[in-house]
Structures are given as structure tokens and as C-alpha cells.
Amino acid sequence: MDFNGSEPRGPREAELLPATVATAVKVVVVGGFGVGKTTLVGAVSEIRPLTTEETMTEAGVGIDDLAGVERKNSTTVAMDFGRITISDELVLYVFGTPGQERFWFLWNGLFEGALGAVVLVDTRRLEVSFDVLGRLEDRGVPFVVALNAFPESPRYPVEELRAALDLPHHVPIVHCDARSRESSRDVLMALMRYLYDLAAQPAAAAQPVG
């Protein structure tokens, strides 16, 4: 922000959390560019979606050199996020990452401690999801797949999509309309129920699947 006399921005009165909130949890919405992540976050959030940014200076990020930064290559990654107050003690944050897939996993702590992830998929462009699905599996982040209904999207049978995405049978696949609060809420519910099942029967996820 600009500190030259302007008042700092802050939450509006209606957006204040109860003072009793003691615990925050987070989920991450990932998917290819333009698949509707920001729309979904905005649909479920009780606050105006906000944007937080981070600079990436890891060697190998290696693109988007900033003029004047002589030491390392760095680039900026931004995430939109929203918030849902679950109770007087618990709040859920929903982070949606932008379409720069290679940066999601460089953001320290984004997936660390996250309950799980939603992979938002556009059935017209399944191929953009392969990379992120593989990375989530590698990192052991539990996820559900949500098929965002675009008007012109073909509606394939779920099992056909499961095969095309090479998803294990236990990973839930749900249809959604990211513009709808209720539908987007249902996606988060599907994730939570899946996580509940995993936690209740830890062996289920570990079983090899055909």
C-alpha cells in the first residue's frame, strides 16, 4: 500500500470475524487458466475476494526478470482467496491460484497444513489438469475433482472422465457451476466428506487401486 498519507485499507465492518475465532483452516482450489477458480472462490466467500501476493526468487523460476533486480530472477505469484466463517471458533479460507501452474508448488506453505484441494476442470481442456493432478498425488494432498459446467462444455459420463484423467476410484468427481454459491458450496462439502471418509478409514486411501 501507499503510506503517503492515505488511510490503510482494511476489512469493512460487516467483514469482521468474531473475536472468539480461534482456529483457521484452508483449502486450495487449483486448475488451469480460465477454468473458474476465482469465480468459485467469489461464489462461496463471505468477504470480497482478496488477493495476496508473493515474490518467487528460486533459481529455476528463471523467467520474467524484473528490471532493477540484479541479484536473482524473481517473479510475482498472486492468489485470490475468500473466507467462510464456520462457527464462532472456526473459519475456513479458500485459496484459488492463478493460471501459472508451475508456481503453485513453490509458494511455501500453501499446501502445507491445507485440509485438501479442489481440482477445477474444464472438460473441453482436460489436458491442462494432468500436471496438477500428478503433483497433488506426489505430494499426498487429498483432492476432489470438480467439473465446471460451461455452457458449451461436453458432459461426459463421470467414469469416462475418470479413465481419461487416470483417477483412482476413490477420488470423488462432482459436477458444478462455479458461478453458483450453492453449487460451489457443494464442491467444498464433497471435499470435506471425502476427507472425513479418509480420516475415518485411513486404509481406504492407501489401498492400491486398479
Partner 1 sequence: MSNQDWANANPERLYVISGGRDRKSATAGFDLVTLVVARARPEPTMQPEHAAILRICGSPLSVAEISAYLRLPNSLVTVLLADLLAERRIEVRAPVPPAALPDLSLLEAVIHGLQRL
State the Cα–Cα distance between residues 56 and 97, nearest whole angstrom.
Answer: 14
Q: At its nearest, how many Å lie between partner 1 and the CB of residue 120?
A: 17
Query: Binding residue for partner 1 (CB under 8 A) from 106, 128, 164, 198?
Result: 198
Q: How far is the CB of 34 from partner 1 (least distance, A)?
A: 15
Whether the CB-CB separation of 47 and 14 falls below 8 Å is answered with no
92 binds partner 1 (CB under 8 A): yes
Work out whether the CA dihedral 176, 179, 183, 185 comes out positive or negative: positive
Q: Does 23 bind partner 1 (CB under 8 A)?
A: yes
From the list 30-38, 128-136, 143-151, 183-191, the region that binds partner 1 by CB under 8 A is 183-191
204 counts as binding partner 1 under rule CB under 8 A: no
Interface with partner 1, residue 11, by CB under 8 A: yes
DSSP tally for the chain: helices H, then strands E: 6, 7
Nearest CA among 203, 208, 36, 206 for reference residue 118 = 36
Which part of the chain contacts partner 1 (CB under 8 A), choosing from 112-120, 122-130, 148-156, 165-173? 112-120
For residue 181, which amino acid is it? R
Separation between Cα atoms, residue 169 and residue 164, nearest integer Å: 12
How far CA 70 is from CA of 50, 67, 74, 106, in Å, comes to 30, 8, 10, 21
Q: Does 33 contact partner 1 by CB under 8 A?
A: no
| Binding flag, residue 63, partner 1 (CB under 8 A) | no
Q: Check residue 195 for interaction with partner 1 (CB under 8 A).
A: yes
Contact 49, 41 (CB under 8 A): yes
- Selected from 18, 62, 134, 168, the binder of partner 1 by CB under 8 A is 18
Q: In which element (H, E) is residue 184 found?
A: helix 181-200
Q: Which of 63, 163, 189, 209 binds partner 1 (CB under 8 A)?
A: 189
By CB under 8 A, name the binding residues for partner 1.
1-3, 8-11, 16-19, 21-26, 44, 50-55, 66, 68-69, 74, 76, 78-79, 81, 83-87, 90-93, 95, 108-110, 112-113, 115, 181, 185, 188-189, 192-193, 195-196, 198-200, 202
